[in-house]
């Protein structure tokens, strides 16, 4: 269907060009009779280009064959237009009129050779100016039409390729985001269930509370996280439930501090973006030891930005907990690249005593 539209476009273009030329010639019927066939053959080569050489050669990247076939097509059509058509359709009168006439100073009454115009005391001057051959003019007309149509087809092809690249890129990003979400959610659920399992052996009352917290967390993960963005307060509620669920593991008071400075609770953020940092801190800070450990979480938010800061202590010796995980921080980096391109700044500083994360998000495009 697109090829038909392209063909109609080229036909309309050349009809407009020749109509304009005919109007400027004074609407001469003779002009239309002599050049109408040129228009017909221009349309012919354009049809060959659009319906054969482009789909069969150019689109299949057979560039050499496309070039050879194009050159042959232009020359063959030009030969037919110049040598065959005038004799059979235009008639001998037009054919003879197209041929060059006698040279200036020759022919009957010209006085014979040597009797033409002379410079003073010089040899005779012969004027050999001849108009361009009919073949050259036809070749120029056919070639121009073919080249313009080729350039238009190449431009449209490049445009379609660019659109396909954009579509494929968007599909790839959506697929990757779905994959990243599928990696995140089971990981949180696994950790939460582990916490509840550990708590069930200590206090059944706190186990009920932990199940309530987990229920709220699962509701957020299963329903809210299906949205592209969520209000910031829901993300903070999830963080708070996660910390409460963790703290119910023991009767100890863990040195975890949270500070929130939020001007607008309803500003939007991508869900499950901040929790992997907290999860990582709880897992590797050895916070269960209580003494000499800490986790400090701060969130400052304005109408246009979110500043997330998390710092946790590091044990003197590396703690090996379980093999599950390892996807959190890298996952967040990938999501930030996809969802906040050129609108985020993630700085991670690690020393022998602490691990600090600072994430700044620009919410406006």
CATH number of the structural domain spanning residue 231: 3.30.565.10
Q: What is the mean pLDDT of residues 333-351?
A: 90
Is 356 in a helix, a strand, or coil? strand
Tell me, rounded to whole angstroms, the distance of Cα 18 from its chain centroid.
38
**Are residue 90 and residue 225 in the same domain, yes or no?**
no
Q: What is the pLDDT of residue 283?
A: 83
Residues 156 and 249 in one domain: no
- Confidence grade of residue 100 (pLDDT, cut at 50, 70, 90): very low
Q: Is the pLDDT score of 155 beyond 50?
A: yes
- Which of 135, 157, 149, 183 is CA-nearest to residue 279? 183
Asked if 100 and 119 touch (Cβ cutoff 8 Å), the reply is: no
The whole-angstrom separation of Cα 239 and Cα 335 is 18
- The count of structural domains within the chain is 2
pLDDT at 362: 93
53 and 151 fall within a common domain? yes
Task: Answer yes or no: do 150 and 214 share one domain.
Answer: no
pLDDT class for 93, splitting at 50, 70, 90? Answer: very low
Q: What is the pLDDT of residue 236?
A: 94
Q: What is the DSSP string of 71-110?
A: HHHHHHHHHIIIIIHIIIII-HHHHHHHS--PPBT-STTT
Mean pLDDT of the residues in the chain: 78
In a domain, 338, yes or no: yes
DSSP letter, residue 198: H
Question: How many percent of the chain have pLDDT more than 70?
Answer: 78
Measured distance CA(84)–CA(93) in Å, rounded:
14
Out of 163, 185, 211, a domain closes at 163
Residues 136, 47 share a domain: yes
Residue the block writes with tokens 């954009």 = 166
* 295-301 and 256-262 strand pairing: parallel
Least confident range of 200-209, 253-262, 265-274, 291-300 = 200-209
In the structure, what pLDDT confidence band is assigned to residue 99 with cuts at 50, 70 and 90? very low
Which tens digits make up the pLDDT trace of 118-136?
A: 545 555 544 455 666 778 8
- How many CB atoms are located within 10 Å of the residue 28 CB? 11
Query: By residue range, what is the domain housing residue 140?
Result: 2-100+131-163
- What mean pLDDT do residues 343-352 have? 92
Whether 155 and 61 share a structural domain: yes
The mean per-residue pLDDT over the stretch 184-206 comes to 73
SS3 of 10, please? helix
**Bridge partners, 356 (sequence order):** 311, 349
Q: Is the model's pLDDT at 110 over the cut of 50? A: no
**Which tops the pLDDT comparison, 225 or 242?**
242
**Do 291 and 225 sit in the same domain of this protein?**
yes
Q: What is the pLDDT of residues 198-227, one digit of tens each?
A: 777 777 788 888 888 888 888 888 788 778
Above 50 in pLDDT, residue 347?
yes
- The pLDDT of residue 84 is 64
Interatomic CA distance for residues 242 and 240, integer angstroms: 5
């Amino acid at each position: 269907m697109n090829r038909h539209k392209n063909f109609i476009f080229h036909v309309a273009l050349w009809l407009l060009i020749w109509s304009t030329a005919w109007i400027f010639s004074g609407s001469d019927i003779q002009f239309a009779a002599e050049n109408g066939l040129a228009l017909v053959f221009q349309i012919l080569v354009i049809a060959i280009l659009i319906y054969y050489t482009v789909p069969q050669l150019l689109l299949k990247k057979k560039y050499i064959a496309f070039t050879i076939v194009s050159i042959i097509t232009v020359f063959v059509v030009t030969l037919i237009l110049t040598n065959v058509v005038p004799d059979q359709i235009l008639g001998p009168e037009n054919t003879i009129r197209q041929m060059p006439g006698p040279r200036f100073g020759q022919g009957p009454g010209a006085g014979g050779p040597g009797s033409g115009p002379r410079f003073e005391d010089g040899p005779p001057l012969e004027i050999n100016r001849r108009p361009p051959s009919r073949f050259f003019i036809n070749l120029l007309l056919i070639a121009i039409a073919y080249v313009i149509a080729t350039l238009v087809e190449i431009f449209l092809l490049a445009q379609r390729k660019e659109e396909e690249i954009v579509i494929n890129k968007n599909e790839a990003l959506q697929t990757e985001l779905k994959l990243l979400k599928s990696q995140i959610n089971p990981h949180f659920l696994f950790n939460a269930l582990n916490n509840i399992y550990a708590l069930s052996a200590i206090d059944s009352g706190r186990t009920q509370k932990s199940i309530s917290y987990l229920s709220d967390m699962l509701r957020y993960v299963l329903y809210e996280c299906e949205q592209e963005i969520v209000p910031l307060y829901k993300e903070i509620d999830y963080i708070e439930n996660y910390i409460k669920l963790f703290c119910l593991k023991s009767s100890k008071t863990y040195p975890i501090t949270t500070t929130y400075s939020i001007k607008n609770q309803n500003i939007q953020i991508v869900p499950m973006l901040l929790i992997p940092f907290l999860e990582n801190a709880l897992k590797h800070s050895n916070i269960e030891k209580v003494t000499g450990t800490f986790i400090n979480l701060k969130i400052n938010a304005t109408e246009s930005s979110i500043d997330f800061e998390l710092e946790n202590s590091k044990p003197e010796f590396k703690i090996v907990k379980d093999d599950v995980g390892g996807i959190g921080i890298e996952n967040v980096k990938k999501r930030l690249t996809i969802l906040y391109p050129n609108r985020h700044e993630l700085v991670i500083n690690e020393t022998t005593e602490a691990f600090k994360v600072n994430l700044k998000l620009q919410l406006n495009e």
